[in-house]
Homo-oligomer: A and B are copies of this chain.
């Protein structure tokens, strides 16, 4: 008999009790942004420590300048991998309270529609529900086998919803203790209720503010118009030239380090119904590179976006002014091995090459981080995908995300760890909003999924 089958049975048998435990955690209003709830944050950390001790973890509350971390260790068989599982026990504020159907800190199971039960309450999905999946998987495994299949370290943060100010120094100060073979994070979502997914790519980001300076002062366009450089015109021309007719970015060497997504991954993405992404915001025409699918555009291709532009007279009515300066905020989303600082330098040269001799340009740097990319065919990805596909009606999707998840970058850069991102949230979970919920199927099959992933990665 396989190691996993009785664990799954135990998870099924434990469901009611695991729900009670989640409810107990949700009842603690651990809102990290509001100092009035600081004691509740500590209570949530302490609750987790006590619960983890019942499984046999060496767990402790670890102070930080902000809300405490929970760190817990459990050993595994000789030669087994060491994994770090991350989650966060803090939750978003609940305002406006009057839009909630029920007390956000009095969780319930309710039937959303026939055959679809959900757990209600703040944090039911983000991230208390999700982090307890892994805890419950460990509990069931331990109860069945008397041990865990590998060495496991848990790190639960209490400041994720308020910018994670303590994470970086905590990782640095405890790098020896926390560094594992790889990390696992349960803070993402499923493609839909039947389709789990693994996020292997997170785009990087380079931010630049560019300001074109022309005349020493604002000018009257009647007197100077036609002879004096107009910085808005120079800026518009530069921005307008940054994409070619096919939607490709024209900054030299911009695509260095960009690799093609494997064809079998693209084929899987092509089957997805992605039209709501644009349809829900009133758009329909993909604006990216010609010949690329929407999933490629938002997950696997780099972009140049203009996030803000400003210059001259912006008020009501009209002024016939030629501005002294104009500026734009420009950002690049990066993929693969694109080098943020090389792209910043190439962009600046692209701009400088287009500035008339009597004008000047200044730049302000607004952050830069490379993309985070697990190989689509990395063993942890293929094994986890197979495990997920065993649990859910549909095969697991392997995809990427357009934005960033800071903790993944911190794990990579500070601890040298790759991260497996698997989560069971759904688009309608209303995280950060009134009436947050978590599907009971996510809570139940999510536990089973993590047990299967542990089994697959340690087989």
In the complex the two chains form, is B236's CB within 8 Å of A281's CB? no
A297 on interface, CB distance cutoff 8 Å: yes
User: How far does the Cβ of A187 sit from chain B's closest Cβ, in whole Å?
Assistant: 15
The interface residues of chain B lying within 8 Å CB-to-CB of A288 are 226-227
Find A230's partner among B241, B306, B313 (CB 8 Å cutoff).
B306
Residue of B nearest to A293 (CB): B227
Enumerate A211-239 residues with CB–CB distance to B below 8 Å: 214-217, 219-230, 232-233, 235-239
The interface residues of chain B lying within 8 Å CB-to-CB of A243 are 233, 237
A308 on interface, CB distance cutoff 8 Å: yes
A273 on interface, CB distance cutoff 8 Å: no
Q: Mark A265-281, 1 if CB is under 8 A from B, else 0.
A: 00000000000011001
User: How far does the Cβ of A406 sit from chain B's closest Cβ, in whole Å?
Assistant: 12
CA distance A287 to B323 in the complex (A): 14
A319 on interface, CB distance cutoff 8 Å: yes
In the complex the two chains form, is B331's CB within 8 Å of A285's CB? no
User: How far does the Cβ of A328 sit from chain B's closest Cβ, in whole Å?
Assistant: 7
Task: From known contacts A306-B312, A309-B312, A322-B305, infer whether A222 and B317 are also in contact, taking CB-CB under 8 Å.
Answer: no
Residue of B nearest to A365 (CB): B318
Find A309's partner among B236, B286, B287, B404 (CB 8 Å cutoff).
B236
The interface residues of chain B lying within 8 Å CB-to-CB of A6 are none
The interface residues of chain B lying within 8 Å CB-to-CB of A319 are 307-308, 329
Interface size on A, residues (CB 8 A): 78
In the complex the two chains form, is A216's CB within 8 Å of B282's CB? yes
Task: From known contacts A317-B366, A357-B284, infer whether A277 and B227 are also in contact, taking CB-CB under 8 Å.
Answer: yes
Determine which residue in A203, A209, A286, A358 has the highest number of CB atoms from chain B within 10 A of its CB, and name it: A358
In the complex the two chains form, is B222's CB within 8 Å of A203's CB? yes
Q: Mark A292-328, 1 if CB is under 8 A from B, else 0.
A: 0010011001110111111111100111111100101
Enumerate A323-352 residues with CB–CB distance to B below 8 Å: 323, 326, 328-329, 331, 333
Task: From known contacts A222-B404, A311-B309, A402-B224, infer whether A357 and B229 are also in contact, taking CB-CB under 8 Å.
Answer: no
Task: From known contacts A209-B318, A222-B402, A226-B297, infer whether A236 and B233 are also in contact, taking CB-CB under 8 Å.
Answer: no
User: How far does the Cβ of A79 sit from chain B's closest Cβ, in whole Å?
Assistant: 39
Find A358's partner among B283, B297, B312, B358 (CB 8 Å cutoff).
B283
Known: A227-B294, A236-B239, A307-B319. 5 other contacts (CB 8 A): A228-B283, A237-B240, A284-B357, A318-B331, A319-B329
Binding site for B on A (CB under 8 A): 203, 205, 207, 209, 214-217, 219-230, 232-233, 235-241, 243, 277-278, 281-288, 294, 297-298, 301-303, 305-314, 317-323, 326, 328-329, 331, 333, 356-359, 366-367, 401-404
